Amino acid sequence: EAGVTQFPSHSVIEKGQTVTLRCDPISGHDNLYWYRRVMGKEIKFLLHFVKESKQDESGMPNNRFLAERTGGTYSTLKVQPAELEDSGVYFCASSPRGGAYEQYFGPGTRLTVT
Amino acid sequence: LAKTTQPISMDSYEGQEVNITCSHNNIATNDYITWYQQFPSQGPRFIIQGYKTKVTNEVASLFIPADRKSSTLSLPRVSLSDTAVYYCLVGERLNSGYSTLTFGKGTMLLVSP
């Protein structure tokens, strides 16, 4: 069974540019979560989808971040325009219905904004 | 106020049993206790979850006392490949009614030959 995949593995962009991160959850998992770890900090929750519906985005830092989950399958997280403080590792996780605590994480996308 | 408190780091030798204790004094009645493992350049990986008493799987055991204010992850006979960061988590209820994970700093376990 394929795990959670994320693309790209690493992205380096300049301040002001736009970047789109993609996450493909495990097939059949209704729940999809985005987290991020910025330099020296803990992993922080960003938002949660159930299928295509955005349930909670209380962790999104500001309106430069936009997440979508097309058709309840893969998800994208767009940062526009990127700022230096957006640098970090962005993790995606998925879980089956009712499985909030046993989440399956992807390898993460390392975003570097210069 | 941190939801969980655990050692910053621990050292061990191969073959030893490692116990990592986590404090969660303000755990809610319906919260589960979950432990994750993370290797460098990888996402966290679920290890074990429990509510009370003892839970055991093929990887680890989790001991939870009756007051549930702490828990201990036990790794039997660790190997070099168990070197990783271990996170103790309790659930966080979102405004949506769903739950998610709140990560703390974790415990860096270093296993030496």
For residues A2 and B19, the model is more confident at: B19
Q: What is the pLDDT along chain A (114 residues), one digit of tens a residue?
A: 689 999 999 999 999 999 999 999 999 999 999 999 998 899 999 999 999 999 999 999 999 999 999 888 999 999 999 999 999 999 999 999 877 889 999 999 999 999
The pLDDT score that the predictor gives to residue A34 is 97
The pLDDT score that the predictor gives to residue A100 is 81
Is B32 part of the contact surface with chain A (CB cutoff 8 Å)? yes
The pLDDT score that the predictor gives to residue A4 is 97
| Residues in chain B within 8 Å Cβ distance of A108 | 41-43
Mean pLDDT rounded to a whole number for chain A: 94
Angstroms from B30 CA to nearest CA on chain A? 12
Phi and psi at residue B7, to the nearest 5°: -60, 150
Is B94 part of the contact surface with chain A (CB cutoff 8 Å)? yes
Rounded to an integer, what is the distance from CA B19 to the centroid of its chain?
A: 10
Q: Is the pLDDT of residue B1 over 60?
A: no
What is the Cα–Cα distance from B74 to B21, expressed in whole angstroms?
9
The secondary structure of residue A65, as a DSSP letter, is E
The pLDDT score that the predictor gives to residue A62 is 92
> To probe the interface with A, which of B90, B101, B102, B107 has the most A CB atoms within 10 Å?
B101
Question: Is residue A86 a contact partner of residue A113, using CB atoms and an 8 Å limit?
Answer: yes
Angstroms from B11 CA to nearest CA on chain A? 21
Sheet with A65-69, edge to edge strand ranges: A5-7, A19-24, A75-79, A65-69
pLDDT tens profile B42-101: 999 999 999 998 999 999 999 999 999 999 999 999 999 999 999 999 877 777 778 788
In A, minimum Cα distance to B40 occurs at A107
The pLDDT score that the predictor gives to residue A16 is 97
What is the Cα–Cα distance from A55 to A48, expressed in whole angstroms?
6
Burial class (CB in 10 A: 0-12, 13-18, 19+), A76: middle
The pLDDT score that the predictor gives to residue B110 is 98
The pLDDT score that the predictor gives to residue A1 is 64
From residue B57, alpha-carbon distances to A22, A53, B34, B61 in Å are: 33, 34, 13, 6
